[in-house]
Chain A
Amino acid sequence: MSEYMPEGISAYLKKRLDEHTVKTIKYKYGTVTKTGDGVARILGLPECKYGELLRFENGTYGMALDLQEDHLGAVILDTGDTVREGMTVIGTGKVAEIPVGDEILGRVIDSIGRPLDGRPLMAQKFRACEQSAPKIIERRPVDTPLRTGILAIDSMVPIGMGQRELIIGDRQTGKTSIAIDTILNQKNSNVICIYCAVGQKASTVSRVIETLKKAKAMSYTCVVTATASNSPAMQYLAPFAATSIAEWFMYAGKNVLIIYDDLSKHAVAYRTMSLLLQRPPGREAFPGDVFYLHSRLLERSACLSKDLGGGSLTAIPIIETMGGNISSYIPTNVISITDGQIYLENELFNSGIRPAINTGLSVSRVGRAAQCDSIKKVSGTLRIQLSKFREMAVFARFGSDVDVQTAKMLKKGSILTELFKQQKSNPYSNFEETLLLLAYNNNVFDDVEPSKLKPFCKKMTQYVKNVCAGIVPIIETGFMSDGDMSALEKSIMEFKGISDE
């Protein structure tokens, strides 16, 4: 108790004062010569670093991004025109940093780590937003699946831990839904999720947070957000900040999933910033380094070697296209950087096929290496079958007579299309996915009406779960022996027999 008595307190203060040496404070300063539209031109500060945080006289922060011979250009990290000409600016000597650590889970923060959920954030550790990507020697090949719980994705375009899989499509085609469903599916899989919203409407972001809260997914998720009302600089910084948070967990040996929603708005924010900083515009007025902007961001996703703890960072960037045009500048850039894409189509979405995945244009370059054993055994040629069906369906539309073989293919295709339809926020377990595909391969659904397929599947899953209760936990881990497979097939057939009667 003595330390709380007056003597104790004065002894403590004396000790702290003795430790402190009074020195002349020396610092460099600059002066704002021009400001407007969220950027400031500054004279002075000759030793300023690229990306250094600057503090203006009124306490506002800025970031030096344009170092010229006689002046420097900085973006202001605050909305509102609080910076005035003639203000003094000092360099902090630090680059932009973000709080990291376990405290960050369950929180909603902005690009520079300020909490937005009304609670103080007591983070102890910080990490610079810009980091170099893990080196080649520090990585290992992607071989572990990251399950999305969406049947069409897990069977046809599987995503591996450490992979970068792009979700691309027009507005209102269910891009964010797929990403959110993937987060929801990580509930019991020990994967940490970071959702980074860039340039989104605040209402959309709050809806996403509400969904995550309702599904109790916030306990393993962190939301980093820079909405449309934030300055372009904050929007530019958000994905880098989010990646730094994710990296901290990755280097701690954990598996992390990061969603960038979306990178087209990020590119637009970067274009705004670059044009205001008077960098020369290139194609579509984007600056020359817009490719490097995204490539250096996505290169930070990796599957680390066992020596470094074996953690992984899986990235799911989202790109919004205009009129289904995936060959415009930013989409082609990001397609070429990522290890595959899931292409969502407006027409499919409107005709009720949800998730509206175009199987022809969707691909996972990691492929089978990142698929678990049980799904691998039952998903064989699904993609080819579905692509052939979509092709044939176009001809069949003309009403011409088709041969028996084609009719059969059309029938199977429509069943598969129906099977892949999945409600939002309703991820399947590994067992359910395996079972449905196994039943499909055994032609169980051939005489089931498409409208009755979903209830049929539900009953079948329930039945097999009861009969083969011993096998279920094994298949949930991703493995399926031939014996287990035939046991499942047997009980599927049993159920089919019962339901036929």
Chain B
Amino acid sequence: MTVTITVPKDLSDDIYEKILDGFKKKYGDDTVFIKEKSTKIIGGFIAEVDGTVYDTSIRSKLNEIKKAITS
């Protein structure tokens, strides 16, 4: 299983390790991680696993709030 994780540029290593632990629990210890750093997201992370995207980024949450308020 390969998991691609997009994180903010200035994310500390120990928080990143915590995220990896979470995925290892779900998909097993032999999971391969690809780390991508992006300036586009402020906080949170976006993970892509087997065609599914888990988006917990602050950017997307703000977008959701914007949609909810203006609709």
Contact status A26-B68, CB under 8 Å: no
- Where chain A touches its partner, the secondary structure class is mixed
Pairwise interchain contact A28-B51, C-beta atoms closer than 8 A? yes
Q: Does A397 contact B (CB under 8 A)?
A: no
Q: Which of A15-23, A290-298, A305-313, A451-459 contacts B (4 or more CB under 8 A)?
A: A15-23
A13-B69, A16-B69, A17-B69 known; A44+B51 contact, CB < 8 A: yes
Interface size on A, residues (CB 8 A): 16
Contact A22 B51 (CB under 8 A): no
Which of chain A's residues have a CB closer than 8 A to the CB of B52? 26-29
- Which B residues are in CB contact (< 8 Å) with A45? 51
B47 to chain A, nearest CB (A): 10
Report whether B55 and A25 are in contact in the complex, using a CB–CB cutoff of 8 Å.
Answer: yes
- B54 cross-chain contacts in A, Cβ below 8 A: 24-26
A27 to chain B: closest CB distance in Å? 5
> Given A24-B56, A25-B60, does the pair A46, B51 have CB atoms closer than 8 Å?
yes
In the bound complex, CA of A16 to CA of B70 (Å): 10
B interface residue count range (under 10 / 10 to 19 / 20 to 34 / 35 or more): 10 to 19
Q: Which B residues between 19 and 71 are near A, CB-CB below 8 angstroms? A: 48, 51-56, 60-61, 64-65, 68-69
- Within the complex, the shortest CB–CB distance from B44 to chain A, in Å, comes to 9
A30 at interface (Cβ–Cβ under 8 A)?
Answer: yes
Number of A-B residue pairs having CB atoms within 8 Å of each other in the complex: 41
Mark out the residues of chain A between 253 and 289 whose CB falls within 8 Å of any chain B CB in the assembled complex. none
Contact, CB under 8 Å: A26 / B53: yes
A133: shortest Cβ distance to chain B, in Å?
34
Out of A25, A26, A44, A46, which one reaches B64, CB within 8 Å?
A: A25
- Closest beta carbon of chain A to B63's beta carbon, Å: 9
Report whether A22 and B65 are in contact in the complex, using a CB–CB cutoff of 8 Å.
Answer: yes
Asked if residues B65 and A29 are in contact (CB atoms below 8 Å), the reply is no
Give chain B nearest CB distance to A397 CB in angstroms.
73
Which residues from chain B contact A19 at a C-beta distance below 8 Å? 68
| Residues of A with C-beta under 8 A to B53 | 25-29
Is there an interface contact between B65 and A26, defined as CB atoms closer than 8 Å? no
Closest B residue by C-beta to A88: B53
List residues of chain B with CB within 8 A of the CB of A17.
65, 69
Bound Cα distance from A22 to B65, whole angstroms = 8
Residues of B at the A interface (CB closer than 8 Å) are 48, 51-56, 60-61, 64-65, 68-69
Chain A interfacial positions (CB closer than 8 Å to B): 13, 16-17, 19-20, 22, 24-30, 44-46
Q: List 11 A-B contacts (CB under 8 A).
A: A13-B69, A16-B68, A19-B68, A20-B69, A22-B65, A25-B53, A25-B64, A26-B52, A28-B51, A30-B51, A45-B51
| A-B CB proximity, top 10 nearest | A25-B55, A44-B51, A20-B68, A24-B56, A16-B69, A22-B61, A28-B52, A27-B53, A26-B54, A25-B60
